Amino acid sequence: MELTGARVAITGASSGIGESTALAFARAGAHVHLAARRTDRLEAVAEQCRAHGVEATAHTVDVRDGDAVTSWAAEVEGLGGCDVAIANAGVMWLGPLLDMPTDELRHQYDVNVHGVLHTLQAFGRPMRERGRGVLMPVSSVLSVANLPRYAAYCGSKHAVRAMAASLRIELAGTGVEVVHVLPGATESEIHAHMDVSRLPLSTREAKRVPASQVAAAMVRAARRPKAEVLCDGQGRLLYWATRLAPALVDAVLPKAMALRRRR
């Protein structure tokens, strides 16, 4: 897809991967339509995007609210239609699954699963009518791999991967592509919200790539769509190790994490 003049909608664009992705598409010449809850942060990102000579709009949207997502999508449609819709908004709460508070579990699935579904439906329906467009749900390498104390998060991301794979088959031949994005450990604010004491290893020690690296991978994938997009070496290693030897990874990874914690 040619990105100059294309319209790109991004959820969770007020920080981290979404913010970097908005800037990367704006630099590539695309108009960007940004959604999240923190309006002031979104406005600041939109302002930076406009500096690249493109249109950029900020929309206060909670992706848990399907009607709000639909209204936002209708606004973008009114501007000429959305070419790429990126369902990126997400939260991460960790801890032993059996002990996690119900409100944390619900919130996590409402954002990470229902928020993605709302976005795919709201933007995917008009794309299917037009016979073109790219839907880009963002999950994680933890949509394939499993980690102790990440069970709720992994479950929500595995759901996104399964939906993306099935939707790709449903939409085959319609002109609408489904590109599933699986970031690995990435610098962002998501880690700031975590209670580190609940973790099996100190995430402060985890190696993370800049959010701009994930953003660049998404821009490349919008230009040349493919089924799955891995964004960094560590993520690629975990993805392929889990695909090829899942039982081995399930056995070895928690031990490796425990060793790391003791160091």
φ, ψ of residue 101 in degrees (nearest 5):
-65, 140
Measure CA of the first residue to CA of the last residue in the chain; give whole Å: 47
Is 91 an interacting residue with respect to ligand NAP (CB under 6 A)? Answer: yes
Q: How far is residue 187 from each of residues 30, 160, 190, 234, measured CA to CA in Å?
A: 24, 21, 8, 14
* DSSP string of 76-138, one letter each residue: HHHTT--SEEEE-------S-GGGS-HHHHHHHHIIIIIIHHHHHHHHHHHHHHHT-EEEEEB
To the nearest 10°, report the CA torsion of 206, 211, 214, 218. Answer: 160
| In the complex, least distance from residue 206 CB atom to ligand NAP, rounded to whole angstroms | 8
Q: Which is nearer to ligand NAP, 151 or 190 (CB)?
A: 190
Which of the ranges 95-103, 179-187, 215-223, 254-262 carries the binding residues for ligand NAP, by CB under 6 A?
179-187
Partners of 35 in the beta sheet?
11, 59
- For 253, phi then psi, to 5°, come to -60, -45
User: Of 54-83, which residues contact ligand NAP (CB under 6 A)?
Assistant: 61-64
Strand order through the sheet with 84-87:
56-60, 31-36, 7-11, 84-87, 133-137, 176-178
Residues 103-122 binding ligand NAP (CB under 6 A) are 111
Considering the rule CB under 6 A, would residue 143 count as an interface residue with ligand NAP? Answer: no
* Residue 241 DSSP code: H
Question: Does 153 qualify as catalytic in the annotation?
Answer: yes
Single residue of 57, 108, 119, 188 touching ligand NAP by CB under 6 A: 188
Q: Is residue 36 near ligand NAP by the rule CB under 6 A?
A: yes
- What x/- string results for residues 197 through 236 when contact with ligand NAP is judged by CB under 6 A? ----------------------------------------
**Least Å from the CB of residue 131 to ligand NAP:** 28
Cβ 60 to ligand NAP shortest distance, Å: 9
How far is CA 247 from each of CA 70, 135, 150, rounded to the nearest angstrom?
41, 32, 17
Q: How far apart (Å, rounded) are the C-alpha atoms in residues 93 and 170?
A: 32
Residue 177's H or E segment, with its range, is strand 176-178
Among 7, 8, 12, 145, binds ligand NAP (CB under 6 A): 12
Q: Which is nearer to ligand NAP, 60 or 174 (CB)?
A: 60
Closer CB to ligand NAP, 57 or 188, in the complex = 188
Least CB distance to ligand NAP at residue 132 (A): 25
Q: Does 16 bind ligand NAP (CB under 6 A)?
A: yes
- Does residue number 130 form part of the binding site for ligand NAP (CB under 6 A)? no
Please give the residue ranges that form the binding site for ligand NAP (CB under 6 A): 11-18, 36-38, 41, 61-64, 88-92, 111, 138, 140, 183, 185-186, 188-190
**Residues catalogued as catalytic:** 153
